[in-house]
Amino acid sequence: MNTKAIQQATAHRPWPLRSKPWAFYQEWNRAFFLHWRVPHEWVQPMIPRGTALDIFDGSAWVSLVAFTMEKIRPRQLPPWPLISNFHEVNVRTYVTAENKPGIFFLSIEAGKRVSAWISAGISGLNYEYASMQRIDEKYTSLNTKRNYRLDAHYAVGKPILQKSPLDIFLTEKYCLYMEKAGRPFRYEVHHQPWDLYRTSFSALTTDYTIGDCSLQSPPHLVHYSPGVQVLAWTPDPVPTHP
């Protein structure tokens, strides 16, 4: 699907597409999602000022998403595989501001040092390098700086033909919140809805402790998706109130 066709498919969006031109193209491919229901107090102190926790059925959620980033590029330039293609693992929670629910990264890691460095510099996100390997349906990641570890052996099952409200809440987000110099910002993104599949794990280690948030127990829900093609815009400040 070309970028024009991506922009034209908007019926699934919760708010209108940005009017100004998109800034970056990227693909989030072969993704699996691990989701935990967590106490509010685990994540409330870590979210940006000006945002509120977005909850589902009275609970906060944290998700670990492991995928392969491919073809990331600025609008006017082609991708450069040495930098544009890399494995990524992020840990996120769910926040909202101005009636735009989105995600906030508690941790974000890239499997190439140069990609982590450039991505952090361009986006302002706190990318860190982690040693990652992906072979068939085995995905491993080790961040020695933080003692974060992921070891996943998974099998993709049948497609989820009828998504539940929780499936949609955890996957269909069209903006990202971040904090820079004490100010909240919002990156808006656009893509087709994720095609979701049931997933099983023959082995799974998620050794992540971020603040008071520990992800060492089995997740409450898992998904797999072949991926999405994504358009992203430059960030805008989020108004804050005293």
CATH number of 155's domain: 2.40.400.10
62 located within any domain? yes
Q: Is 7 exposed, middle or buried (0-12, 13-18, 19+ CB in 10 A)?
A: middle
Report if residue 9 sits inside a domain: no
- Sequence length of the chain is 242
CA distance 126 to 161: 35
Per-residue pLDDT of the chain (242 residues; tens, 9 = 90+): 799 999 999 999 999 999 999 999 999 999 999 999 999 999 999 999 999 999 999 999 999 999 999 999 999 899 999 999 999 999 999 999 999 999 999 999 999 999 999 999 999 999 999 999 999 999 999 999 999 999 999 999 999 999 999 999 999 999 999 999 889 999 999 999 999 999 999 999 999 999 999 999 999 999 999 999 999 999 999 987 66
Note whether residue 145 is domain-resident.
yes
120: domain range?
Answer: 30-234
pLDDT at 242: 60
Query: Can you give the pLDDT at residue 229?
Result: 98
The domain total for the chain is 1
Q: Would 7 be classed as within a structural domain?
A: no
Q: Is residue 142 part of a domain?
A: yes
Give start and end residues of each alpha helix (H) in 160-229. 165-171
Token output for 235 = 């960030």
Q: Is 224 contained in some domain?
A: yes
| C-alpha of 89 from chain center | 8
Q: Is residue 17 in some structural domain? A: no
Pick from 239, 233, 242, 240: which is nearest to 22 by CA?
Answer: 233
Residues 228 and 25 sit within 8 Å (Cβ to Cβ): no
Q: Could you tell me if residue 77 is inside a domain?
A: yes
Model's pTM, two decimal places? 0.96
